[in-house]
């Protein structure tokens, strides 16, 4: 059996992003309940806001332009950990390269 995924939310304490980080952790735990091994909040400084799944960065505030909304975050976790799973009403349509204008 494959180990359950671990999520780490690294957030800036100087920026007061604890509440935002804990809300995102709650959203993930509510949606993926027993499917995740853990959701860890990791304090940092310097404007850091990075979300990792098993060490793979799935969101970086500076790279991705701000903070994810709940459906986007859940979809990124799902796409990596549980690609066949439906997220129900909050599921965002998946885009293919031709739909997004990329080749």
**Please, are residues 92 and 71 in contact by the beta-carbon 8 Å criterion?**
yes
Mean pLDDT over 64-69 rounds to 97
Question: Who wins on pLDDT, 62 or 2?
Answer: 62
Residue 13 lies in a domain: yes
Phi, psi of 58 (to 5 degrees): -110, -15
Tens-place pLDDT, residues 25-36: 999 999 998 999
Whether residue 1 is contained in a domain is answered as: no
Average pLDDT value for the chain: 89
Count Cα neighbours of 31 within 13 Å in the Cβ-side half-sphere.
25
Which CATH number belongs to the domain containing residue 73 in this structure?
3.40.30.10
Measured distance between the N- and C-terminal CA atoms of the chain, rounded to whole angstroms? 37
Q: How many CB atoms lie within 10 A of CB 52?
A: 17
Q: Is 71 inside a domain boundary?
A: yes
- For residue 102, what pLDDT band results from cuts at 50, 70 and 90? very low
What's the total number of domains in the chain?
A: 1
Can you give the residue range of the structural domain that contains 54?
6-100
**Position 54 in a domain:** yes
């Amino acid at each position: 059996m494959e180990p359950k995924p671990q999520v780490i939310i690294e957030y800036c304490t100087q920026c007061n992003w604890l509440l935002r980080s804990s809300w995102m952790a709650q959203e993930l735990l509510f949606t993926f309940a027993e499917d995740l091994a853990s959701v860890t909040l990791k304090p940092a400084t310097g404007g850091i806001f990075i979300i990792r799944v098993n060490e793979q960065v799935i969101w970086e505030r500076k790279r991705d332009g701000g903070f994810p909304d709940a459906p986007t975050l859940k979809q990124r976790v799902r796409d990596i950990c549980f690609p066949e799973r439906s997220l129900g009403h909050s599921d965002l349509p998946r885009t293919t390269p031709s739909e997004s204008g990329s080749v």
